Amino acid sequence: MIRRVGAKISADNTCDFIVWAPFPEKVQLEIQGWKRAVDMNSDQYGYWFATLENITPGTRYKFILDGQLRRPDPASRCQPCGVHEWSEVVASHDFGWNDSEWQNIALSEMIIYELHIGTFTAEGTFTAAIDKLDHLLALGVNTIEIMPISQFPGSRNWGYDGVYPYAAQYSYGGPEGLKSLVDVCHQKGIAVILDVVYNHMGPEGNYLSDFGPFFTDKYTTPWGKAINFDDPYSDHVRSFFLQNALMWLDEFHIDGLRLDAIHAILDNSARHFLKELRQNVDELQLKTLRRHYLIAESDMNDVKIIQPYNNGGYNLDAQWVDDFHHAVHTLATGENDGYYSDYGSVADLAKAFRQAFVYDGAFSLFRKRTIGNSPAGQRSEQFVACIQNHDQVGNRMLGERLSQLVSFEMQKLAAGVMLIAPFVPMLFMGEEYGEDHPFLYFVSHGDPNLVAAVRKGRKREFRYFKWKGSVPDPQAEETYNQSKLQWNYHENERQTRLLNYYRQLINLRKNGAFGLFKNTGIKTDIDEKNKLLVIYSGGSKDQKQLGAVLNFSKKKHRVKLAKRDQQWCKIMASSDQCWAGPADAKEIIKNEDVMVYPESFVLYKK
Q: Which residues are annotated as a binding site?
A: 258-263, 322-326, 390-395
Question: Strand 27-31 and strand 38-39: pairing?
Answer: antiparallel
Catalytic residue list contains 473: no
Are the CB atoms for 597 and 548 separated by under 8 Å? no
Nearest in space to 604 (alpha carbons), one of 500, 539, 509, 514: 514
Answer for the pair 495, 433: CB distance below 8 angstroms, yes or no. yes
DSSP per-residue string spanning 462-494? TTTS---SPPP-TT-HHHHHHTS----GGG-HH
Name 232's Cβ contacts closer than 8 Å, sequence gap at least 6. 213
Secondary structure (DSSP) of 104-152: PPPGGG--EEEE-HHHHSSS-SHHHHHTTHHHHHHHT--EEEEPP-EE-
DSSP bridge pairs for 143: 112, 191
| Distant-in-sequence, close-in-space partners of 98: CB < 8 Å, separation ≥ 6 | 183, 186, 187
Binding residues for substrate, as ranges, are: 258-263, 322-326, 390-395
Cα separation values, 83 from 59, 138, 165, 203, 453, Å: 17, 38, 11, 11, 19
| From 161, 231, 260, 435, the catalytic residue | 260
What are the Cα distances from residue 352, in Å, to 97, 110, 281, 375, 519?
Answer: 41, 20, 30, 11, 16
DSSP state of 67: T
Residue 260 falls in the annotated catalytic set = yes
Q: Annotated catalytic residue: which of 231, 297, 342, 431? A: 297
Catalytic residues: 260, 297
